[in-house]
Structure 1
Amino acid sequence: MNGKELMKLVKDWRVAALLILIVLSVVAIYPHFDDKGNLTSNLQYGLDLQNGAWLQMEFQAEVVGFTTDQPVSDFISNLSKKLDTEVLLVETSDPTHLEIRKYYSREDLEQIFAGEGGKVTSYQKGVSKNTGELVKKILENKLNSLGTKDTKINILAGMGNVAQYVRVEMAGVDMNQAKELVGKQGKFEIRIQTVGNQTEHVLYGDAISSVGNPEKDIQRSGVWGVPFTLNEAGATALQQAAIKYGLTTNPEDHYLIMILDNKTVFNAPMVADAAAKLKTSTNRQWSASTGTGSAGENAAQTLNIHLRAGALPVETKIVGSGSVPAEQGAKNKMVSLIAAILALITVGIVIYYRYREPSIVLPMVLINASEVIILLGFISAIKFQIDLPTIAGLIAVVGTGIDQMVVITDEILHEGRVPSQNLYLKRLARALMIIVIAAATVVIAMVPLMLMPLTTLQGFAMITILGVLVGVIVTRPAYGKIIMEILSK
């Protein structure tokens, strides 16, 4: 193929799209040498491929179905006092299930419910889906603020969307450090503005006895806020500071400032009515307003996490743990690389044995390798950690990719000769239709694996689906065009 024909081929939109994706992927991967002269890239590796630790923790709480002849709000309030913990409705629109944020056996709960005028209809250990997501956000916020960014946190749910476990994977962290990071609370402080930009300490996070879920105040034009409760010492400290620095008479000039690990997370004046009441009495029940609309709701969700200072809403118990030494991670990385290279070589040998024509084999192998580069570029762009299941997905993509290109080649070379242009296009269209149907089958099979809370399979399913889509949309049409030009010679 001369230069003019090659340029014409490159300008074809299918081939051009493939080349552009390859270039963008290489930029995203960014292979380069570090200060020590070692080859590195933007790819992030999970526990399987570097040292790290994982913890699996069980929620010490339960979701209980119930009936009662008492007013639901009174029943929940009495139950909360009796159980000495938070008791919440799982769904306010369907008040039939409660989340009890402390572990009790079903037998104990049945006795307590009966004493309060209720009955247990179902029992499942764990927390609601919303609480599970809150736990995930709290852990992500805490671990990221501590500089541990190579983390994966997954909530493992059972029947009825009841979250039973949380699994935390931390690359580059040993087991002792992992336990310390997960169990550590941040330093939370409330300060009061005195004169200008000067502030004075009021209380620390240990003065906050409980934090409620974000809620919208209908009476205040839908303002979002986060309710929280101070203990007696905290309420007294806030009242004394408010009186001392003039907040009770002029709240607009004396903002309350909330700080988590030396970072301001809330800064606003106190409502005038609430400030005036502090002149004569303490107040333990407060709500930090964050605004209206979706922005106010998002700010309330974030502040809810900050107020907890990294403390989870329910206790957890470590039921599983493990670690990967650095030497094992490096060995796994090398073995995976060798396996990928051997897969490509083996595929090339088998294809050559079938066609005995290098001009057919070479484009197949190169396009197969380009799919892997494109997938690695996508992984790097979204900061997804590569683990052994992900590598298994990449190798699976190599196999399915070759299968599909064999379908195209065999369809075109039907009866052993190159067809005319019109017949070629018809056969290519027929081959692509077969590939699309096969790809749809793979996607349908992989979607449940990707959505199920089985963390070890999600990477495999995601890469397999993405590989199929890249093949159908980009690389198969490009291969069809390239092989047409080669076979026409």
Structure 2
Amino acid sequence: MKPTAFLKENWRVLLLVVFVLGAVVALFLPGGVMGDSSYASQGESNQSWTEDPINLEYGLGLEGGTRISAPVVGMTAENVDAGVVSDGEADQDRITEIEESLYADEALDLEIGDANVVVHDDGTVSVELFVDDVSEGAFVAALEDADVGASEDDVREGVTQETRNDIIETITLRINEAGLSGGQVTDAEMSDQHYVVTEVPEMGEAELRSILEDRGIVEVVAYHPGGENGTQVNETVLTGDDIAEVDPPRQPERGTGYEVPVQVEDSSAEDFQSDMREMGYTEQQGWSNCRVQDPQTGEMEFNDEQEQHCLLTVVDGEPVAAHSMSQQLGSSMATGDWAESPRFQMGAQEYSEAQALSVNLEAGELRAPLDMTEGKFYSLQPALADQFKTYSLLIGVLSVISVSGVVYGRYQDRRVAAPMILTALAEVFILLGFAALIRMPLDLSHIAGFIAVVGTGVDDLIIIADEVMSEGDVNSQRVFESRFRKAFWVIGAAAATTIIAMSPLAVLSLGDLRGFAIITILGVLIGVLITRPAYGDILRRLLTDK
């Protein structure tokens, strides 16, 4: 047979082989198909391929860990008349004006990051406060002072969907930057209240709480003579939004503690350089004269009467390090050369603080705090999760053995039963490869989906075999094709019904049911598009005359 004719007759089987080989690569390629340079070095991660050669990630039920569900702190004034949108465009100056007015309101007593103006895609405007100790009346009064038309009827508890999406993205980045794998962050609605659900395998409750409770608002504050009679003042000169790139923490060549090298955004570099000149940091008296931090203990004591030039690294309002301006950096800012390559070091006394600083700069600040007092906490010990993993594997093996026995007992023909079992196993193997490719954290719900896929897959293969063999042996390929098409229409209709029934579960935030639905739908698609047609070709070659 010519190669072209062979390919034409057996392309479905070859397609199945290609997908199986792809699954092998996804499952066993060191570091994974989508791995990065740090993947294999995550020594304490459950995905260090040097310890586990299979590139599968496991969720809470199979790895142990913690799940925390917490609502977002805040209130929102919706559909306000703020004069923010003009001709379909958002006026950034007006947004800044509203936020500055809210921060200046003494009754609200807001801190940095506590107010936000959201312009929705439909052109409507909402104003948010991320605090829990302000009344609706005080909020409305502050909006009136900002020349924003709103009433108490416009104010509701909670924040906008845009803010929740931003929080989910930030927490996800924090988990990834911390070198953790298998974590998931979702938005769920419970009792008419939205919760941010964070689930991280192999992490204790205290550690996950620390990630979620930190707002991660990073500032560089200049502590310098600028008040009356030369007293010291604090002025914020950089925020996390001004940072373009962040390098991993390292120990400095001189001194103690740790430093985090950063690169400033080009748009902010000139302003920062200009501020340093005006505040005296680029002159000799502004170099190496910061003495607020004890070099041994790391504790800080501020004396506003003693002239100093310090650059403070402040996280969530707390200074974590204080450094002097070096002569080299100050001189380059004095000449204006620094802005051409705007890099410098932010400091921290402990490595944990430096690591947290690096993560916060990479992920950005948490737009709003989570209300841990209303949170729901769930933890699973790794030892118990290992038992679940063992039982899941055992159940999977038993299901395959049971199905194999039933199939062979029904047909008593290895030409029919053996390809059926191998095709069903190939379907599960391809699913596992897909999960490894996209790094889907497998949980108990996914395992249930895999078992369901085995059952429904073999059901469809039995339909094919029964229809093909319904009138005795098949000797003609034309007759085989006719019977196979009839069976495939039945399988296709059943697959469409399953997908339609499972789609709401896969889309809605229904906890573990979502994982079950996703695996079931993927299994049905792989079966209809790849494994069922391949099984038909195999049967055709085994049962018909050549």
Kept in 2, the 8 Å contact 1:188–1:261? The answer is: no
More strand by share: 1
1:55 aligned onto 2:109: no
Identity value in percent: 27
Kept in 2, the 8 Å contact 1:188–1:260? The answer is: no
Query: Could you tell me how far apart the structure 1 residues matched to 2:199 and 2:130 are?
Result: 24
Residue 165 of structure 1 corresponds to which residue in structure 2?
195
Residue 463 of structure 2 corresponds to which residue in structure 1?
407
Residue 356 of structure 2 corresponds to which residue in structure 1?
none
Where does 1:7-406 land on structure 2 (aligned, <5 Å)? 12-30=10-28, 40-68=53-81, 73=94, 78-79=101-102, 81-82=104-105, 83=108, 84=110, 85-91=114-120, 94-103=123-132, 104=134, 106=136, 109=139, 118-156=150-188, 164-184=194-214, 239-241=279-281, 245=330, 250-254=335-339, 255-257=341-343, 310-318=364-372, 319-406=375-462
Query: Could you tell me how far apart the structure 2 residues matched to 1:242 and 1:11 are?
Result: 78
Give 5+ residue unaligned stretches, structure 2.
Answer: 31-46, 86-93, 223-232, 245-264, 285-329, 349-358
| Aligned AA (1:129) | Q
Query: Could you tell me how far apart the structure 2 residues matched to 1:346 and 1:323 are?
Result: 34
Kept in 1, the 8 Å contact 2:217–2:365? The answer is: no
Deviation of 1:71 after TM superposition, in Å, equals 8.2
Kept in 1, the 8 Å contact 2:171–2:212? The answer is: yes
CA pair 360-105 structure 1, distance change in 2 beyond 3 A:
farther
Deviation of 1:44 after TM superposition, in Å, equals 1.1
Deviation of 1:20 after TM superposition, in Å, equals 2.1
Query: Could you tell me how far apart the structure 2 residues matched to 1:155 and 1:135 are?
Result: 10
| Aligned AA (1:172) | E
Deviations 1:256-312 (A, max 9, x none): 4366789xxxxxxxxxxxxxxxxxxxxxxxxxxxxxxxxxxxxxxxxxx96587541
Deviations 1:343-394 (A, max 9, x none): 2222223333433433322211111111111111111111111111111111
Deviation of 1:50 after TM superposition, in Å, equals 1.4
SS of 1:45's equivalent in the other structure is coil
CA pair 308-114 structure 1, distance change in 2 beyond 3 A:
farther
Kept in 2, the 8 Å contact 1:205–1:309? The answer is: no
Count the aligned residue pairs: 416
Residue 279 of structure 1 corresponds to which residue in structure 2?
none
CA pair 204-394 structure 1, distance change in 2 beyond 3 A:
farther
TM score, norm. by length of structure 1:
0.71
Query: Could you tell me how far apart the structure 2 residues matched to 1:237 and 1:137 are?
Result: 37
Query: Could you tell me how far apart the structure 2 residues matched to 1:460 and 1:376 are?
Result: 14
Kept in 2, the 8 Å contact 1:80–1:87? The answer is: no
1:436 aligned onto 2:492: yes
SS of 1:168's equivalent in the other structure is strand
CA pair 62-35 structure 1, distance change in 2 beyond 3 A:
closer
1:460 aligned onto 2:458: no
Deviation of 1:68 after TM superposition, in Å, equals 4.8
Deviation of 1:482 after TM superposition, in Å, equals 0.9
| Aligned AA (1:401) | G
Deviation of 1:342 after TM superposition, in Å, equals 1.7
Deviations 1:6-63 (A, max 9, x none): x96998211111122212212321299x999976421111111112112222100133
SS of 1:386's equivalent in the other structure is coil
Residue 227 of structure 2 corresponds to which residue in structure 1?
none
Query: Could you tell me how far apart the structure 1 residues matched to 2:235 and 2:516 are?
Result: 42
Query: Could you tell me how far apart the structure 2 residues matched to 1:206 and 1:455 are?
Result: 43
| Aligned AA (2:481) | L
Deviations 1:389-435 (A, max 9, x none): 11111111111111211221122123344263212212212222222
Which range is displaced more, 240-249 or 462-471? 240-249
Give 5+ residue unaligned stretches, structure 1.
Answer: 1-6, 193-202, 215-223, 263-304
More helix by share: 1
Query: Could you tell me how far apart the structure 2 residues matched to 1:210 and 1:486 are?
Result: 66
Kept in 2, the 8 Å contact 1:88–1:100? The answer is: no
Kept in 2, the 8 Å contact 1:186–1:260? The answer is: no
Deviation of 1:332 after TM superposition, in Å, equals 0.3
Query: Could you tell me how far apart the structure 1 residues matched to 2:344 and 2:16 are?
Result: 51
Query: Could you tell me how far apart the structure 2 residues matched to 1:178 and 1:462 are?
Result: 27
RMSD: 4.4
| Aligned AA (2:185) | I
| Aligned AA (1:360) | V
Kept in 2, the 8 Å contact 1:125–1:164? The answer is: no
Residue 265 of structure 1 corresponds to which residue in structure 2?
none
Kept in 2, the 8 Å contact 1:9–1:482? The answer is: no
CA pair 31-235 structure 1, distance change in 2 beyond 3 A:
closer
